[in-house]
Amino acid sequence: MSFSPLIRQLIDALRILPGVGQKTAQRTALHLLERNRSGALRLAEALEQAMQGVGYCERCRSLSEQPICNLCLDPRRDDNLLCVVEGPLDVQAVEQSGYRGRYFVLRGHLSPLDGLGPESIGIPELLERLEKGAFSELILATNPTVEGEATAHYIAQLLIQKDLLISRIAHGVPLGGELELIDGSTLSHALAGRKPLNPLD
C-alpha cells in the first residue's frame, strides 16, 4: 500500500521541519490524521497567521508583528548599550543574563562560502542604527564560533574610527557553542567579563 496523494503531500511538507526525516514525517502525518485533526488544523492556521503577520522590527531587526517591537519601545531600557546578536533566539538568551540595553539582530553570521556577505546579514542596517542612536558601547554577542568571531571582528574593524567602545562577550562562553543554548548565568559572566576590542585612551 502506498499512501494516497494528500497524505504523501503532507508527509513531504512535514519534512521541512528541522530534524524530521521520512520515517518521522510518516508517523507524524498518520498520528495527526488519526489522533489530532483539530490540533493539526490549529497548527495550519497558526503557521499561516505567523508567516503572514510576523515581520521584522524596523529598529532592531528582530521578528516583530509591529513596525517597532516592544523591546525597542520600552522606555526603561538603557539607550547607551547596543548588543549585536545573530538571531532572535539569542535575544532571549541574552535577556536571561539580565542585560537591559538595546539590541540589533543580524540575519546570522558572515559566511563567504555560502555567499553571505555584510549586506546579506544586515551590516548596513546596523551602521544606520548606530547613526540614529547615541550609544556609548557596542557589545558584540555573536556566537562563539569561528563564523561568529569573524563577524564580530569584521564589525569591530568597520567601526574602529568611531568614538564608541566596542566589546566582545568573553569569559564563560565555551568555544564552539551556540549562544542560545547557554544558560543565563554563564552568559551573565560573559557579559560582565567583556573586553574592549578598541581600547579608548
Which stretches of the chain bind Zn ion, using CB under 5 A?
A: 57, 59-60, 69, 72
Least distance from Zn ion to the Cβ atom of residue 175, Å: 30
146 counts as binding a second copy under rule CB under 8 A? no
42 counts as binding a second copy under rule CB under 8 A? yes
* β 137-140/101-105 pair status: unpaired
Closest CB to Zn ion among residues 67, 193: 67
Q: Kindly tell me which residue out of 21, 22, 33, 79 binds a second copy, with binding defined by CB under 8 A.
A: 33
- Partner touching 4 among a second copy, Zn ion, none, CB below 5 to 8 Å by kind: a second copy
Closest CB to Zn ion among residues 57, 155: 57
Span of 50-58, 132-140, 146-154, 156-164 interacting with a second copy by CB under 8 A: 50-58
73 counts as binding a second copy under rule CB under 8 A? no
The contact set with a second copy (CB under 8 A) reads: 1, 3-7, 9-10, 12-14, 16-19, 24, 26-34, 36-37, 39-51, 53-54, 62-66, 69-71, 87-89, 91-92, 95, 103, 107, 180
